[in-house]
Amino acid sequence: MKIIRSIYTLYAVLLFILLMLVFGLFIVLPLLISPRGGKISFFFLRVWAILWSFLIGIRFRTFGTAHIDLNQAYIYIFNHRSFLDAPLIPMTIKQELRGLGKKELSKIPIFGLIISRVAVWVDRKDSQSRKASLTKMQEILQQGISIIVAPEGTRNDTDKTLLPFQKGAFRLAIDTQTPILPMAVIGADKLLPKGSLLLRPGVIEIYFSAPILPTSLKAENPVEHLSEKCYSRLEAMILTHE
C-alpha cells in the first residue's frame, strides 16, 4: 500500500509541476500587463487547480456559497491543517483574491514567481514585514478585492481544533469595515496526514458561514472581541461537520 501511495504521490507532484509550467504564463502575464488583469489570472489559476485535483482523484464539495455576495469584498479566514488547502482556495471561491502567505514560499522555484502575483508575502518574525503586509492588504480591500488569511498563522499539526488566532486580520477588518467570512475545511488532513508526505485521493468538504460584521470601533477591545467571535464560529463549524 505504501508503494502504491508513493507512486500516486509522485504522479500528483509531477502533474502539479507540469500544469504549473503550462498555466504559469497565463496566470502571471495578465497582471504584468495591467493591475486589472486579476480576473483573467484567477480564471487560469482556477483551471490549474480544478484540472490538477480532477486528474489525481481529489474531489471538493462546497456548502454555504449562498452566503457569498460576489460584489462584496471579504476577508476570508480558514482552518489550516494541510498543504492541500492551497489549491482548494481558487476552486471554491469564485472571486478575485489575494492571499497572505509565508515569505519562505516565495523562494520555491517557479511556484514562488507565479504565486507572488496573487499573494502578499509576510515574514511573521519581522514586525516591519507584518506592518507592511497589513498596509498592502488594506490597499487591496480598498480596490474591492477580497483577501484570504489563515489566522492561526501556521499549519495546525496538533490535536486541537484550532490554534490561537493572530490578530492582524481582525484589526484589518475593523480598520476597513470589511466583513469576515469563515470557511471550514474538512478532510484535507486525512488525504495528506500530518507527519506524512504521501497523498491519497478522496473528498474535501468546504463549509462557508454567514459573514461576520466588524466590531464597532467604540466597543471595548474591538479586535479581541471580533477575534473571539470568529474563533468560536469557525470552531463550531469544524466540530459540527467533522
* pLDDT tens profile 133-144: 888 889 999 999
Rounded to 10 deg, the angle between the 2-33 and 38-55 helix axes is: 170
Q: In the predicted model, is pLDDT for residue 75 greater than 90?
A: yes
Q: In the predicted model, is pLDDT for residue 39 greater than 90?
A: no
CB atoms closer than 10 angstroms to residue 124 = 15
* pLDDT tens profile 149-176: 999 988 888 889 999 999 989 999 999 9
Q: In the predicted model, is pLDDT for residue 117 greater than 90?
A: no
Q: Which residue has the cell 484535507?
A: 188
Q: In the predicted model, is pLDDT for residue 204 greater than 80?
A: yes
DSSP one-letter string for the chain: -HHHHHHHHHHHHHHHHHHHHHHHHHHHHHHHH-GGGHHHHHHHHHHHHHHHHHHTTEEEEEE-GGG--TTS--EEEE----TTHHHHHHHH--S-EEEEEEGGGGGSTTHHHHHTTSEEEE-TT-HHHHHHHHHHHHHHHHTT-EEEE-TTSS---SSSS-PPPPSHHHHHHHHHTPPEEEEEEESHHHHS-TT------EEEEEEEPPPBPPPPTTSSSHHHHHHHHHHHHHHHHHHHH-
Confidence of residue 106 (pLDDT cuts 50, 70, 90): low
- pTM, 2 dp: 0.90
CB atoms closer than 10 angstroms to residue 36 = 11
Degrees, nearest 5: CA angle 86-182-48: 25
Q: Rounded to a whole number, what is the distance in angstroms from the first to the last CA of the chain?
A: 26
By the 8 A CB rule, do 145 and 38 touch? yes
